[in-house]
Amino acid sequence: MDYRLLRHTTAVLHYGGQRLLIDAMLDAPGARPAIANTANDRRNPLVPLPDGWEAWVEEADAYLPTHLHSDHVDETGRRMMDRGKPLLCQPEDLERWRADGFTNLLPIDPTLEWRGISITRTEAQHGSGEIARMMAPVSGFVLSALGEPVLYIAGDTIWYEGVERAIEQHRPEVVIAAAGGASFLTGGPIIMESGDLAQVRAAAPEATIIVNHLDAINHCYETRDLLRARLAERGIDDLLIPEDGERVAV
């Protein structure tokens, strides 16, 4: 398994002999306004993509958008994605992708077998209470393939019993967790923060944990540096927190 983070959650995953583009937030810095009802009034994305990103996007064999929020799939991302390539997605998102002209849609409902890779959709909760209901649908995904580690992409979720169930059921060897403590002015975090990551580490003590969703959107307040410091206070220093453009091989 080879994972290259481009920015935020957008990444190219080499897995089972295939290259998957996970999410596609490809807008230039400042192309979109700050997320509504949030502090830190800065336009998004906050940072540029790394050099060489266009080639990495074009080389993808297929797309795995976790969900449709604009910090995961934006206008530039939609424009650059090849309408004929396989697009693996939540079943609720099919009509939107079809309306955008994509013709090779493969819903993960709840499991999809594709080119030797098994992909299972898992639960996710993007916040708490009414905010979580408004932010749905979101998903996590578990991938497995011959000769590859079992990979759990948790998606945009807080730590809750659904994530715990996914770890207990699938026993992932690698976890990709979205963190940064994103939140609105009210309602609490809508994705993981350092305390949630500590729960993931406790639930999957042997797994390699890769953390993304950092430093690119205005309402993600736990930066890479702050996250490292808070994890260190908890005695955790073995999570991988890649920089934009960095490659992680497992």
pLDDT digits (tens, 9 = 90+) for 185-205: 999 999 999 999 999 999 999
Residue 217's closest CA among 33, 80, 6? Answer: 33
The gap between the terminal CA atoms of the chain, to the nearest Å, is 5
Residue 63's closest CA among 83, 91, 92? Answer: 83
Give the CA distances from residue 4 to residues 11, 24, 34, 173, in Å, rounded to whole numbers and listed in that order.
5, 13, 26, 18
Non-local (6+) Cβ contacts of 63 within 8 A are 20, 21, 24, 81, 85, 86, 87, 88, 89
| Domain range annotation of the chain | 2-249
pLDDT digits (tens, 9 = 90+) for 43-66: 999 999 999 999 999 999 999 999
CB 104 within 8 A of CB 84: yes
Helix (H) or strand (E) holding 143: strand 140-145
Q: What is the chain's pLDDT, residue by residue, as a tens digit (250 residues)? A: 999 999 999 999 999 999 999 999 999 999 999 999 999 999 999 999 999 999 999 999 999 999 999 999 999 999 999 999 999 999 999 999 999 999 999 999 999 999 999 999 999 999 999 999 999 999 999 999 999 999 999 999 999 999 999 999 999 999 999 999 999 999 999 999 999 999 999 999 999 999 999 999 999 999 999 999 999 999 999 999 999 999 999 9
For 198, the token pair is 């500590």
User: Three-state SS for 5?
Assistant: strand
CB 76 within 8 A of CB 26: yes
CATH class of 2-249: alpha beta
Regarding pTM above 0.95, the answer is: yes
pLDDT digits (tens, 9 = 90+) for 210-229: 999 999 999 999 999 999 99
